[in-house]
Amino acid sequence: MPSKITMHKIQNTIAAGATTGNSYSKAIRGKILSVKLIYSNTTHGSSSDRDINIFEMNPEDPTAVGDALQEVLNVGTLGADPDADNTVYYPRRSCQDNTATDLVFIASGEIIPTEYVVFGRLNLAISAAAAGDITTAYIMVEEY
């Protein structure tokens, strides 16, 4: 089956009086190739350092982060200097055999990386932010 490369956007604006927020993607099925995070603070020069997580949500409990199937990205204390922190990430996990044992290169002993495969909605979870802060994730996916 042919695949296609698509870009998905998830954006979160922290509500007035809040320091956390969650936003969800539409259903995605495929390999996550990259994540571009863009931050903007409520005021220029703000020192709002936020923590960013992206989770693949469980379809049986689509809003409970504690029941997420996997954490795709975990980036902390970003956003104080949005121009410096707007970054592209290439999240990877370890390849595993049929016993869930990590596969490693024989010569170096390093873990063999692979892309995250997702089938469902992603949650952009923000914490430790300031009201009005905007975080946008552009997620490049090889879809099937």
Question: What is the model's pTM?
Answer: 0.85
Report domain extents, the chain: 4-143
Q: Is the pLDDT of residue 113 over 60?
A: yes
Q: Does domain 4-143 have CATH number 2.60.120.10?
A: no
Mean pLDDT of 126-134: 87
Report percent pLDDT > 70 for the chain. 87
- Contact between residue 29 and residue 119 where contact means Cβ atoms under 8 Å apart: yes
Of 35, 44, 30, 41, nearest to 2 by C-alpha is 30
Mean pLDDT of 19-41: 92
- Contact between residue 24 and residue 121 where contact means Cβ atoms under 8 Å apart: yes
pLDDT digits (tens, 9 = 90+) for 43-85: 554 556 778 899 999 988 888 888 899 999 998 766 556 566 6
Q: What is residue 107's predicted lDDT score, i.e. its pLDDT?
A: 85
